[in-house]
Structure 1
Amino acid sequence: MAKRPLVLYVDDEKEITDLMILALDSEGFDVTAANDGQAAIDALYANPKIDAIVLDYMMPEFDGLQFLERVSQNPELHAPSVILCSGALPDEQELANRLGGSMRSMIKGCVQKPCDGPMLAKAIHTALGMPSLPSEVSFLDEVDEAPPPSMPISGGAVRMLVVEDDNVFGPAITEKLRSQGYGVGWCMTRKAMHEFIPKRAPRLPFDILLLDLALPDAFGSEIIREFALDPRSSGLKIVIITGHLAQGEEEPFLSQLEPKARALVASILIKPYDWNSLLATIGEVAAKLPK
């Protein structure tokens, strides 16, 4: 059996690293993760057999290029192939200004976020000089393209809609919850959410709404207030999933809502959160739904 390449995935958002460990594993890689530059350096010390690094460019403490600089200047560390992966990649001039010769030779590719497992796997295979091989189906795969703009609500005793504008996290959350037996759909915007709700339907087609606060066409509080005015929302529970609030800001946010709107909010999860927290929260909320 061929050796699976070992990849170090470096990103300061734990939510992303958890996702990509699963996605890249299904693409035929062994993956270890680090959530900051120092943890990544420690990982290189601990495992000199790392074949490639997928490196977030924008990180606290020191960014991706500063990490590369420290690695290139340390003779005790080997220099694997590096793929920069970020929603804010540096332009060619910035790279030219900041990269020394040894650092420049380490970077074998750049991938713009959001990206999925197959896209990243192709970049890693290219960086390592390996042919791209057929992989097992990943929950991030959508034929050969990026995830679709929405996913219909599947069958399940408890039905929910995920409104999340990140087209990696949205499908991933949806598939994860579907695997637990829930009926789940996904969309990216307020407008798309309305398409899930027939105007003359006597009740909403979902029991739980997982709502990101910062959407392209609305802020979450607007949507919560909208449902508070809809008589069909009786029994609806909203779980907010957001990076817009910091820990400790949940109560001030809720205090801005009118009583009817506030009553709809069952829980607030601050990004980055782990899957176990999400599943536990959904389980608690589902257990309290009207029978």
Structure 2
Amino acid sequence: MIAYEHTQQRVVTDRFEEVELGPADGVAVPLASALDSRIIFLRKLLDELQSEIESLHRKQQHVLSLAIADPKEKDVLEDQIAKIRRKTFDLRKMVNEVDNEFSEFARVCPSQGEVRIRKNQIDLIRKKLRDVIIRFNETHADYRSRVSVRVRRQLRAVGENITEEEADKIIDSAGRDELFFREVNPLSVSARAALTDVKRRHNEIVELEKSIQEMQEIFIDLQNLTEVQGDIVDNIERNVDTTKVHVEEGARNVKVGLEYKKSATRKKDAWRTQKCGALDPLKF
């Protein structure tokens, strides 16, 4: 009996999917499979990129905690930043490719339900990539700000009476190395080390500004792509919750229907039994 009920529920579910999502299409099925694989792959890459940005943030905090940063630490940071930038550019390219694949799938798929599902998935991926870029830029901006404070403190520590304006000029200079290596008093070992670190920090700031500008261009590009789809992205969670409610309600209706059917069958059998019992005396 349990197996029979399960079979009936499966039949009802299959029929529901056929009505709601439409029958399988010979062209749409392989396109859907390829699109789903790309979406899963993009999610994985986004998770990896997010982890690398958090790792970069931790390394930056470590470098800031050092009295004198080792040049090797700076090299590690630059390598990781370059890696994140490459991955971000690659992801943007792949998101654009998935958009093209989705357009082809939407053109041939007979089911608007499946089209909406995959459109929402792609919108979520694009939104997450934008959020990751925002996090990357925030990490950069915070690090740059703290490096600037560190540079000012070190410049004053070497013994010169440097004004705030002069400190800003040194920090913002893009190539005037003489500002970093002019004669200072006293020329102690610690002073030379501090000036060397200031020079490295300055180069870091210049590179950070370039990275932030490039990532901002990616962000603007993604924002333009999603400008007309913002409402859909924001409604995804609500749509999922609504779908869950409908599915649960449908499951309850199927169960109630099966109970009604069993009850009707029992009543019908009882009626037949009573009828047969009433007709038995006529046989004599």
Normalising to structure 1: TM-score of the pair? Answer: 0.23
Q: Which structure dedicates a bigger proportion of its chain to helix?
A: 2
Larger Rg belongs to: 2
Normalising to structure 2: TM-score of the pair? Answer: 0.23
